[in-house]
């Protein structure tokens, strides 16, 4: 699949690996690729090439919604859309913005006592 850069580029699990370093995370359900930081021109080309070969869009951030539902079951929803993440009706949970592999809390909801 990645014939152009086969020496220095591969996909291992949910990561794009360039020169033995995880450089981007792949979200298959959302068809998105998120770089894990700022990279050299060559590595950026690797990321763009892999994303285009997969047919996925390249985005700089993702949103994780985590929490516990009313029945006590834990959940995690991943989306590339900020409005979708913010519009999820939470009972007990947190909305996170993920940039460069680092989470930043946007909103936290606690259940009523």
The pLDDT tens digits of the residues spanning 15-27 come to 999 999 999 999 8
Question: Confidence band (pLDDT; 50, 70, 90) for 1?
Answer: low
Q: Is 48 exposed, middle or buried (0-12, 13-18, 19+ CB in 10 A)?
A: middle
Contact status, residue 76 vs residue 38, Cβ threshold 8 Å:
no
Instruction: Please give the distance of CA 83 from its chain centroid, rounded to a whole number.
Output: 16
| 68-98: pLDDT as tens digits | 988 889 999 988 888 999 998 888 999 999 8
Cα 113 from Cα 110, distance rounded (Å): 9
This prediction has a pTM of: 0.69
Residue 2 has pLDDT above 80, yes or no: no
Please name every residue paired with 12 in a beta bridge, in sequence order, or none if there are none: 15
């Amino acid at each position: 699949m990645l014939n152009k850069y086969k020496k220095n580029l591969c996909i291992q699990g949910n990561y794009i690996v360039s020169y033995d370093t995880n450089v981007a995370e792949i979200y298959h359900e959302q068809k998105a690729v998120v770089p894990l930081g700022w990279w050299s021109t060559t590595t950026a080309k690797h990321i763009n090439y892999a994303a285009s070969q997969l047919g996925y869009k390249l985005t700089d951030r993702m949103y994780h919604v985590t929490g516990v539902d009313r029945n006590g079951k834990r959940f995690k929803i991943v989306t590339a859309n900020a409005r979708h993440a913010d519009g999820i009706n939470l009972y007990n949970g947190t909305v996170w913005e993920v940039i460069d592999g680092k989470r930043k809390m946007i909103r936290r909801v606690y259940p009523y006592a």
